[in-house]
């Protein structure tokens, strides 16, 4: 090949939102292709929530008192909103581990040396995780229907609940992105990305009725951003066990869920993008 | 007018370590600068600063005439980066990798696809184009990495230890690609631990150690700085060392400090710096024969960059891993420095 035909000048940067969107989609596509090449990761991502449904509903099912009922069927319906919400928050660990791996392998350096939009590497990653999360939620919903979970308030409201879940998952994946950029190894990102999720998802109304907790724990549970989404899902699905608490997020769970998620995105996206710009492997 | 790569007084500290301690660089357009130094010398830090990946604590840097600190985005449009830390995605195919990079250089999908095809052909990867990069050999991966850096034919290229870990055949092949690039007018900054590589590829060489440029010049200039040629003799019997030493001392260049004959007893090797070339070598052989010294080997040795390196830094390049290697490292380095004198 001669030098003349080889001269390829870089096109003008388009700049602005159009470039951000396009770059983010290019990176998202890359991450989605990766998922198809590592199917075992997607499969493990599916098995875990299914296992939780089965374990919780059959192990805890008979001993839980939900709104005065100890029927396992009632608990199963109560449980599903919690499992859905817990499942979407696990996107955090995926985003964190993926980004830490990219740092480790030098891909972040490659991206950072390219004339691309600043937040695009992280946005692309979180969008790809959102696709995977959505897939997981669909599979989980099918399993839930099989074990007796039902929606009682119509499809539009149920779709609204799923939208809130995905928004929560998307918000949490920005926390994961920040963790991934802050740790030294992908392994640390995986465990660091998961460990804090246990208190967040358990000190909540996800698996037990939070109104039965001791007062100080109950306050934390009711103001936990995670609980707002769980409560909103119970309301929108028409599932039992909606907390009668006076706390504002429990009274206005849909709004609380949206506000919390948007707030998390605003804070953690800013922090993560700043961290990305100074990232060193 | 400053060169295609220009840096002045770059300083970067990590905690107590001064990774860059006032580095100045000036690479004229279309030339290759070899940044030569052991691990931890600051080569990679310098490349990271010049490629916008790292903010220096102080100093100025311009690449392709653009201020790296003020307009990093414009600099990124004019550079290609390849080497030990700029990777490819191993789960994507070669083609997908190159297309992605093209898109991120803001090419449209069609152009990125065409360009990926061209590069795959050029780098002899067409057969493996649709296999995940994970399945590539080390040499193929390096070629893909280099192709990714060349997606837009950037006027300025940075290669950080491009041949580290490659076998000799692949190294040779990569050298040819690099030479082609430079012949096409690309300005290149290359870091390497291999003296041979700098000797082979670079117009100018900067020797870096502890974050400082400790010497610069062409390969020949650096070699001349270390001293000229030397005669090396290996005698047949240990008893022949003293008479051989007497003969060589007559030819030794006086006054250069290393003017005297140095002797390695266990290898029976004697070395002396000389001036006079091949003609002198013939005389030395004759004289040794006259005094009855039997020789196994004799040669006129020109200084290698290894010699340059040892005399400049007091330690050989390949021993550089000891840089951060515990309390003994300093003492060892010191003794080596003395030995080199």
List pLDDT tens digits, range A96-131: 999 999 988 889 989 999 999 889 999 999 999 999
| Domain spans, chain A | 38-279
Which among A1, A11, A29 is the nearest to B107, CB-wise?
A: A11
Please check whether residue A113 touches B, CB under 8 A: yes
- C-beta of residue B188 within 8 angstroms of C-beta of residue B157: yes
Chain A: nearest CA to B315, how far in angstroms?
28
Stronger pLDDT, A259 or B193, i.e. the higher one = A259
Q: Which residues contact A141 (CB under 8 A, 6 or more apart)?
A: A84, A162
Chain A: nearest CA to B163, how far in angstroms?
16
Please check whether residue B84 touches A, CB under 8 A: yes
pLDDT at position A3 over 80 = no
Closest B-chain CA to A114: B76
Please check whether residue A1 touches B, CB under 8 A: yes
Please check whether residue B54 touches A, CB under 8 A: yes
- C-beta of residue A168 within 8 angstroms of C-beta of residue A88: yes
Chain B: nearest CA to A110, how far in angstroms?
5
List pLDDT tens digits, range B50-99: 999 999 999 999 999 999 999 998 999 999 998 775 588 999 999 999 99
Best A7, A33, A39, A114 member to test B by mutation, with max B CBs in 10 Å, is A114
Q: Which residue has the tokens 């008479």?
A: B243
pLDDT at A201: 92
Q: Which residues contact A104 (CB under 8 A, 6 or more apart)?
A: A185, A186, A281
pLDDT at B66: 93
Chain B: nearest CA to A2, how far in angstroms?
8
Which among B54, B88, B184 is the nearest to A3, CB-wise?
A: B184
Average pLDDT taken over every residue of chain A: 88
Closest CA to B248 of B276, B269, B271, B278: B271
Q: Which two tokens stand for residue A218?
A: 């109950």
Asked if B104 and A9 come within 8 Å (Cβ–Cβ), the reply is no
CA distances from B325 to B45, B138, B209, B211, B321 (A): 20, 28, 16, 17, 7
Q: Which two tokens stand for residue B70?
A: 């003020």
Chain A: nearest CA to B104, how far in angstroms?
6
Which among A14, A110, A113 is the nearest to B106, CB-wise?
A: A14
Q: Which two tokens stand for residue A123?
A: 């946005």
- C-beta of residue B234 within 8 angstroms of C-beta of residue B297: yes
List pLDDT tens digits, range B112-153: 999 999 999 988 899 999 999 999 988 888 889 999 999 988
DSSP string, B249-277: HHHSPTTSSS-S-EEETTTTEEEEE-SSH
pTM, two decimal places = 0.81
Please check whether residue A9 touches B, CB under 8 A: yes
Q: At what angle do helices A91-105 and A120-146 cross, to 10 degrees?
A: 140
- C-beta of residue A14 within 8 angstroms of C-beta of residue B103: no
Please check whether residue B77 touches A, CB under 8 A: yes
Which DSSP symbol is given to B85?
A: S
What is the block-wise mean pLDDT of chain B (341 residues), using blocks of 10 residues?
87 90 93 88 91 93 93 91 80 96 93 95 92 90 90 92 83 87 92 84 90 87 74 90 87 60 86 80 89 89 72 56 37 38 37
CA distances from A144 to A82, A83, A126, A147, A166 (A): 12, 10, 26, 5, 17
Q: Which two tokens stand for residue B145?
A: 């990495």
Per-residue confidence at A94, pLDDT binned at 50, 70, 90? confident
Q: How far apart are CA A105 and CA B182, in angstroms?
A: 28
Which among B51, B86, B104 is the nearest to A106, CB-wise?
A: B86
B-chain residues near A124 (CB < 8 A): none
Judge residue B160's burial from the number of C-beta atoms within 10 Å of its C-beta, 0-12 exposed, 13-18 middle, 19 or more buried: buried
Per-residue confidence at A197, pLDDT binned at 50, 70, 90? very high
Q: How many CA atoms lie within 13 A of A67 on its CB side?
A: 16
A-chain residues near B85 (CB < 8 A): 106, 109, 281
Chain B: nearest CA to A147, how far in angstroms?
37
Number of cross-chain residue pairs from A and B with Cβ atoms under 8 Å apart: 106
Residues 184-223 on B with a CB inside 8 Å of A are 184-185
DSSP string, B143-172: HHHHHHHTTT--SEEEEESTTTT--HHHHH
Chain A: nearest CA to B71, how far in angstroms?
11
Element (H, E) at B215: strand B212-217
pLDDT at position A59 over 60 = yes
Per-residue confidence at A170, pLDDT binned at 50, 70, 90? very high
β pairing state of B17-27 and B187-192: unpaired
Per-residue confidence at A10, pLDDT binned at 50, 70, 90? low
β pairing state of B32-36 and B204-209: parallel
Q: How far apart are CA B82 and CA B64, in angstroms?
A: 17
pLDDT at B259: 56
Task: Work out the average pLDDT over A222-236.
Answer: 95
pLDDT at B334: 39
pLDDT at B315: 58
Task: Work out the average pLDDT over A209-219.
Answer: 90
Asked if A26 and B103 come within 8 Å (Cβ–Cβ), the reply is yes
**What strands, in cross-sheet order, belong to the sheet with B5-14?**
B17-27, B5-14, B58-63, B66-67
B-chain residues near A34 (CB < 8 A): 89, 91-92
C-alpha dihedral sign at B211, B216, B222, B226: negative
Q: Which residue has the tokens 């082609």?
A: B180
List pLDDT tens digits, range A261-276: 999 999 999 999 999 9
pLDDT at position A91 over 80 = no
Asked if B77 and A13 come within 8 Å (Cβ–Cβ), the reply is yes
Please check whether residue A101 touches B, CB under 8 A: no
Best A5, A10, A280 member to test B by mutation, with max B CBs in 10 Å, is A10
Closest B-chain CA to A21: B104
pLDDT at A9: 65
pLDDT at B177: 86
Chain A: nearest CA to B120, how far in angstroms?
12
Q: How many CA atoms lie within 13 A of B311 on its CB side?
A: 17
Which among A8, A26, A38 is the nearest to B100, CB-wise?
A: A26
ipTM: 0.86
Which among A8, A29, A281 is the nearest to B152, CB-wise?
A: A8
Rounded (5°) CA angle B109-B115-B120: 125
pLDDT at A80: 92
A-chain residues near B79 (CB < 8 A): 113
DSSP string, A121-156: HHHHHHHHHHHHHHHHHHHHHHHHHHTT----S-HH
Task: Work out the average pLDDT over A197-222.
Answer: 91
């Amino acid at each position: 090949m001669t030098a003349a035909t080889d001269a390829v000048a870089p096109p003008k940067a388009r700049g602005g939102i159009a470039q951000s969107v396009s770059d983010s989609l290019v990176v998202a596509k890359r991450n989605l292709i990766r998922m198809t090449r590592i199917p075992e990761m997607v499969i493990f991502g599916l098995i875990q929530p299914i296992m939780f449904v089965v374990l919780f509903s059959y192990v805890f099912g008979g001993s839980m008192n939900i709104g005065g009922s100890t029927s396992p069927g009632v608990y199963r319906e109560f449980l599903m909103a919690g499992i859905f919400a817990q499942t979407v928050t696990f996107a955090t660990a995926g985003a964190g581990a993926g980004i830490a791996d990219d740092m480790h392998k030098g891909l972040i350096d490659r991206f950072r040396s390219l004339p691309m939009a600043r937040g695009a590497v992280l946005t692309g990653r979180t969008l790809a995780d959102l696709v995977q999360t959505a897939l997981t939620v669909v599979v989980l919903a099918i399993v839930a229907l099989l074990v007796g979970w039902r929606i009682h308030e119509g499809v539009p409201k149920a779709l609204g609940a799923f939208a809130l879940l995905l928004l929560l998952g998307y918000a949490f994946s920005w926390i994961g992105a920040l963790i991934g950029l802050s740790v030294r190894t992908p392994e640390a990102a995986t465990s660091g990305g998961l460990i804090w999720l246990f208190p967040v998802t358990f000190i909540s109304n996800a698996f037990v009725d939070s109104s039965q907790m001791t007062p100080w724990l109950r306050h934390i549970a009711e103001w936990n951003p995670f609980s707002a989404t769980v409560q909103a899902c119970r309301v929108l699905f028409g599932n039992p066990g909606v907390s009668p608490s006076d706390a504002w997020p429990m009274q206005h769970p849909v709004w609380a869920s949206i506000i919390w998620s948007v707030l998390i995105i605003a804070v953690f996206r800013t922090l993560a993008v700043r961290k990305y710009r100074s990232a060193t492997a | 007018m400053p060169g295609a790569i220009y840096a002045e007084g770059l300083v970067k500290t990590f905690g107590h370590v001064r990774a860059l301690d006032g580095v100045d660089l000036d690479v004229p357009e279309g030339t290759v600068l070899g940044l030569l130094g052991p691990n931890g010398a600051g080569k990679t830090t310098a490349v990271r600063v010049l490629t916008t990946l790292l903010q220096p604590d102080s100093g100025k840097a311009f690449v392709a005439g653009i201020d790296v600190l003020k307009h990093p985005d414009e600099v990124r449009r004019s550079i290609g980066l390849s080497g030990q830390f700029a990777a490819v995605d191993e789960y994507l195919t070669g083609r997908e990798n190159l297309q992605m990079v093209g898109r991120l250089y803001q090419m449209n999908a069609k152009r990125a696809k065409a360009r990926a095809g061209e590069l795959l052909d050029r780098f002899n990867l067409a057969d493996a184009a649709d296999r995940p990069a994970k399945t590539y050999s080390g040499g193929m991966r390096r070629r893909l990495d280099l192709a990714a850096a060349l997606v837009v034919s950037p006027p300025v290229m940075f290669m950080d230890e491009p041949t580290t870990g490659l076998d000799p055949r692949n190294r040779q092949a990569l050298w040819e690609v690099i030479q082609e690039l430079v012949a096409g007018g690309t300005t290149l900054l290359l870091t390497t631990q291999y003296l041979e590589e700098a000797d082979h590829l670079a117009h100018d060489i900067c020797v870096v150690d502890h974050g400082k440029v400790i010497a610069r010049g062409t390969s020949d200039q650096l070699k001349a700085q270390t001293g000229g040629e030397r005669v090396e003799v290996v005698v047949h019997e240990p008893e022949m060392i003293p008479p051989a030493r007497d003969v060589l001392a007559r030819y030794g260049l006086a006054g250069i400090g290393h003017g005297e004959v140095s002797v390695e007893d266990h290898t029976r090797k004697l070395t002396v710096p000389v001036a006079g070339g091949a003609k002198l070598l013939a005389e030395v052989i004759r004289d040794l024969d006259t005094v009855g010294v039997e020789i196994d080997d004799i040669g006129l040795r020109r200084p290698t960059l290894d010699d340059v390196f040892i005399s400049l830094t007091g330690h050989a390049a390949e021993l550089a891993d000891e840089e951060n290697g515990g309390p003994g490292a300093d003492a060892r380095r010191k003794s080596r420095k003395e030995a080199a004198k």
